[in-house]
Amino acid sequence: MVALIIAIHVLICVVLTVVVLLQQGKGADVGAVFGGSSQTVFGSSGAGNFLTKLTSGLAVAFFATSMFLAYASTKHVTSSIFDRPSRAAAPSKAAPVEKPGSAPAAPAPAAPAKK
């Protein structure tokens, strides 16, 4: 199920990018007044309205699939990084550090006697 939604989500992303790039900017009509080309793919007036509605629909679908994927990703989490003990809190095997001027914890072994 999640794999299908991911495939749909990627498809929506690609189509949404193409649709946004197909739209004309607000200042694009001014160039047509001074001799620019006014050819359109969707007719003289229908392109803006159709592409705007398509962009809105794709944006809603993108957010819906994003929310579903975010919800689905939280269902598989069984533990958190905060549940595990940190390495700093674990006891270490190193010898205890002695303070300067204090007596050693254990007497040093005696040297063997010479004969």
| pLDDT tens, residue by residue, 2-53 | 899 999 999 999 999 999 998 877 765 555 556 555 555 555 555 668 889 9
Query: Would you state the structure tokens that stand for residue 114, as one six-digit string?
Result: 């010479």
Q: Which residue type sits at 84?
A: R
Query: Is the model more confident about 101 or about 21?
Result: 21
pLDDT confidence of residue 83: 74
pLDDT confidence of residue 5: 94
- How far is it, in rounded angstroms, from Cα 58 to Cα 20? 10
Helices (H), the chain: 2-22, 28-33, 46-75
Q: pTM above 0.85?
A: no
The pLDDT tens digits for 40-88 are: 555 555 566 888 999 999 999 999 999 999 999 887 666 777 777 766 6
Q: Are 71 and 22 in contact (CB under 8 A)?
A: no
